[in-house]
Structure 1
Amino acid sequence: MNAGICALILAAGEGTRMRPLTLTTPKPLLPVGGAPLLDRAFALVDGLDTAVNAFHLSDQIVAHVGNRAHVEVEKELLGSSGSVGNLRGWIAGRAVLVLNGDAYLHGGDLSVLLDGWDGDKVRMLGVPAGDEPFAFGAHVFAGASLLPWRVVADLEPVLSHLVLTAWRPAERAGLLEVREFGGTYVDCGTPADYTRANALAAGRG
């Protein structure tokens, strides 16, 4: 599958809004429907050469990943952009599909991000924005984006976020494509959303 594309699962965040659960367990290892979020992320990028970044409780992430992926333990939090920049040597000229390790994508997959891609534009998975103020056109970010190497090559390993270094610049240049996710996206960043994700996984959503 897509030899010129690799994947990065972002799993370094401290999950402060999810405390006390994340005091002892990294957020990507919290279960949704009986499976850790990180394992659900692996299923979404199955077939792609994959890296996982880690910082908070990194020993647990390293042990859980095992030999399934390259693990990059960060010495400090770098944000989504800095984490990609920190892995430029590993990405090595490829495009990269960046997936949030706390994203729960119910009822769909990431094929919409890859199908028919021209290899040059930045792509973002999106869901309808509604009244969300931080929209990209009619959509808001839904946990995953696809970056061409020309964008990755300019990212530095310093604290920053893709919304500032990749998505908004691409939008201003007319080089951003938002691809709508056909299912339900839940950012498991708060206890309420984590509960919602588990309800969906159990068929109660």
Structure 2
Amino acid sequence: MPPSLPLMLFAAGFGTRMRALTADRPKPLIPVGGRTLLDRALDLAREAGAGPIVVNTHYLGTQILDHLAGSEVRISDEADQILETGGGLRKALPLLGTAPVLTLNPDVVWTGGNPLLALARAWEPARMDALLLVKPRAGLPGRQGNADFTLDAEGRIARATGMEGHVYLGAQILRTEGLAAIPDQVFSLNKLWDRMIASGRAFALEWPGGWCDVGSPEGLAGAEALLS
């Protein structure tokens, strides 16, 4: 097994695309196949030996706190202001440490292996500042809109401008030192990615297994079908 890396789980969002399903609970606590999305993500983290594990909270965050009570999981509280992925990761750094960090979106269902282990095994710190897990845009179930990235022969990424290319799946390893240079308090990790892309140190790994985005009621139905 690769060396342990810290892990950030992004659980602070409002889950508005889930409509009524998130009126009284945060999206990470929606069950899929009889197990909450958050617990499914934590299963992957623990299987991969990730640690420490940090979860950020904002919308209905006390429910996530109660759900995780008594566990080893650390909480980065964004109750005062939701900070998006970049700002949220930067706030959590005192809990995560200075090593490269795994990040995982819990609103995804995976089959065919552990995406965090796949990333850790492919990580090459001498030439990478980021390694993102991706799939080809063509034929990806439930995907709306353009591709996110194109890949060169070595797996180095650039921004896609249309439907051709790959889609980011919500799991990655990245160095966090560059977060300190971003002046905004609330910002997306896209700002950090763009700096890494410009320096030629942002890469992608294609995921061969199953994947479903559970961001909407339709996605929830697709995830149940994938798991069955």
Mark yes or no: TM-score above 0.5. yes
Structure-1 separation of matches of 2:28 and 2:134: 21
Structure-2 separation of matches of 1:155 and 1:127: 28
- Residues 144 and 17 of structure 1, relative CA distance in 2, 3 Å threshold: same
Residue 129 (structure 2) pairs with residue 127 (structure 1): no
The secondary structure found in structure 1 opposite 2:203 is strand
Residue type of the alignment partner of 2:50: L
Output aligned runs, 1:4-23, within 5 Å: 5-23=5-23
- 1:149: Cα distance to partner? 3.6
Residue matched to 2:104: 99
- 1:21: Cα distance to partner? 0.8
- Residues 13 and 109 of structure 1, relative CA distance in 2, 3 Å threshold: same
- 1:68: Cα distance to partner? 2.8
Structure-2 separation of matches of 1:102 and 1:28: 6
Structure-2 separation of matches of 1:106 and 1:23: 28
Structure-2 separation of matches of 1:150 and 1:159: 17
- The question of whether the paired residues in 2 share the 8 Å contact of 1:105 and 1:184 is answered with yes
Q: CA RMSD in A?
A: 1.8
- 1:155: Cα distance to partner? 5.5
- Residues 116 and 17 of structure 1, relative CA distance in 2, 3 Å threshold: closer
- 1:32: Cα distance to partner? 0.9
Structure-2 separation of matches of 1:11 and 1:193: 17
User: What TM-score do you get using the length of structure 2 for normalisation?
Assistant: 0.81
The secondary structure found in structure 1 opposite 2:6 is strand
- 1:153: Cα distance to partner? 4.6
- 1:152: Cα distance to partner? 4.5
Structure-1 separation of matches of 2:130 and 2:120: 11
- 1:107: Cα distance to partner? 2.2
Output aligned runs, 1:181-200, within 5 Å: 181-200=207-226
Residue matched to 1:160: 187
Out of 22-31 and 166-175, give the one that drifted further: 166-175
Structure-2 separation of matches of 1:93 and 1:81: 15
- The question of whether the paired residues in 2 share the 8 Å contact of 1:84 and 1:155 is answered with no
Among the aligned pairs, what percent are the same residue? 31
The secondary structure found in structure 2 opposite 1:127 is strand
Residue 54 (structure 2) pairs with residue 51 (structure 1): yes
Residue matched to 2:25: 25
User: What TM-score do you get using the length of structure 1 for normalisation?
Assistant: 0.90
Number of residue pairs aligned between Structure 1 and Structure 2? 200
1:177 corresponds to which of 198, 203, 210: 203
1:83 corresponds to which of 83, 88, 106: 88
Structure 1's unaligned 5+ residue stretches are: none
- Residues 149 and 159 of structure 1, relative CA distance in 2, 3 Å threshold: closer
Structure-2 separation of matches of 1:64 and 1:2: 28
Structure-1 separation of matches of 2:43 and 2:181: 29
Residue matched to 2:168: 141
The secondary structure found in structure 2 opposite 1:24 is coil
The secondary structure found in structure 1 opposite 2:187 is coil
Residue matched to 2:75: 71
- The question of whether the paired residues in 2 share the 8 Å contact of 1:12 and 1:58 is answered with yes
Structure 2's unaligned 5+ residue stretches are: 140-144, 151-164
- Could you report, residue by residue, the CA deviation over 1:89-148 in whole angstroms, capped at 9, with x for unpaired residues? 122211111101212122221222111422242010101122852421131100111112
